[in-house]
Amino acid sequence: MIKVFKLPDLGEGLTESEIVAWLVAPGDEVTLNQHIADVETAKAVVELPSPFAGVVSVLHQPAGVVVHVGEPIVSFDIGGGAEPTSTAPTDTTAGAAAPAEQREANLVGYGPAVERGGHPQRRARAGGAESVPAPATSTTAAPVPAVTPAAVSTDQPAVAPVPVPLAERPRSTPPVRALARDLGIDLTTVTGTGKDGLITRDDVRAHITESVPTPAVHGEPVSPTAVPPTAAPATSRGDDVRETRSPIKSLRKLTAAAMVQSAFTAPHVTEFLTIDVTPTVELLDSLRTDRQFEGAGIGILTVVAKALCLAVGRTPSVNTRWDEPAGEIVQFHHVNLGIAAATPRGLLVPNIVDADRLDLRGLAAALAELTTAARSGTTTPAALSGGTITITNIGVFGIDAGTPILNPGEAAILAMGAIRSRPWEYRGEVALRKVLTLSLSFDHRLVDGEQGSRFLADIGTILADPARVLTMV
């Protein structure tokens, strides 16, 4: 029996995903929930598990293709005969038993109910798996027309699609595949030096250095031949590459749409505050030598995050959301603190849930975990939703100030610039002090100028004199 698996809804209302890599090929035997592919949504790369145990029959889509939810992506031969086409209960008064209980498949942990024959059953659903009879005569398949979830019925024969021939599958991890994709490297051309031929990040970098290097992209050197397979040919004169075109998709596409919506929906106001943060820098120096905080990794971002959480308690309007359809203002009574992170895939804003309940050590640990996941490409879609207010640290790039755009659905975003040694008025004299500029953008529908100014001033007060926290709580 052939089971067709359609791209499921991966959550967050996303309608399409890119197949990053197949980890199986036609003829491979798979087990239930086995990791069969890496799929990139607009927010994260996720592992796609198999909804069946059986043999891979056909891969309907090659790697690198953007697939819409509900489109077939892989077929499995699970053995056995044809299933009943009707799931309606029979008349129990005639002595017939009701059909076995069924469960809908979800992304991870399908947990299907088992019928009397021991085979999983599943209710047909959009983006899920569907049963079709196996071809009875020929192994030569004809092209299958595009279908929508509503256009397929389990009681109608389906024409088997044309198999997609694939090269031998390279072994690597999702972060390595993401790096190779960003650099335009075909992993089938890379020799793996890891265990059992596993391709590592060093293998990808070593492959790049075999060609003449060009300026770095996202901190990684790129060879002139490292053009993504989907990119249009570059227009060049001699060896001078004039331009390269690549499709707008995945994270970049979502980020662009979100920023445009935010910029032209929420009336932005940005305020700036430059402060002497020498006391905070001295506090951090003392914590690094304190055995109680040894290895805690508390830095300036940790302190700014804590100061923001404390200031939210005094100006709650910055921690709200404008619900246009409901005609309501949503006031959050918790702080899910978003941290803007630059990654090889683009801008991500994962958040720390209930950041206002964490102390400095807890915030430092949460920030470290968040940063590690973002850089390795393992941030989950769940971690990228539900934020209530955001911090972006542009100071790590040597930038003093900016006008950050609000993360959609949030009322405020704080940008922290670089800490610089500058001449500053201190106790009636000019001294060399550690100076930082904060930039606060807020939605003027939700936050008045007075409220935004007070919120920014509170954060500045804490950073300029950490002891003043005692007067604010």
Question: Which residues are marked as active site?
Answer: 444
Pair 427, 416: CB distance under 8 Å:
no
- Separation between Cα atoms, residue 473 and residue 471, nearest integer Å: 6
Q: Which residues pair with 257 in a beta bridge?
A: none
- Rounded Cα distance between 144 and 4, Å, is 12
Which residue bears the tokens 């500029």?
437
Compute CA distances 280 → 245, 286, 304, 363, 427, whole Å. 46, 10, 10, 16, 17
CA distances from 5 to 9, 256, 302 (A): 12, 31, 45
Structure tokens at 321: 């959301």
Instruction: Provide the pairing of β-strand 16-22 with 35-40.
Output: antiparallel
The answer to whether residues 435 and 277 touch, using CB atoms and an 8 Å cutoff, is yes
d(CA 217, CA 219): 5
Could you tell me what percentage of the chain is helix, strand and coil, using 3-state DSSP and rounding each to the nearest 5? 25, 25, 45
Strand-pair category, 389-393 with 337-339: parallel
Give the 3-state secondary structure of residue 231: coil
Instruction: Supply the DSSP symbol for 114.
Output: B
Q: Which long-range contacts (CB under 8 A, 24 or more apart) does 414-418 make?
A: 414/304, 414/308, 414/389, 414/390, 414/438, 414/439, 414/440, 414/456, 414/459, 415/391, 415/439, 415/440, 415/441, 416/300, 416/301, 416/304, 416/391, 416/392, 418/394
- The burial of 380, by beta-carbon neighbours within 10 Å (0-12 exposed, 13-18 middle, 19 or more buried), is given as middle
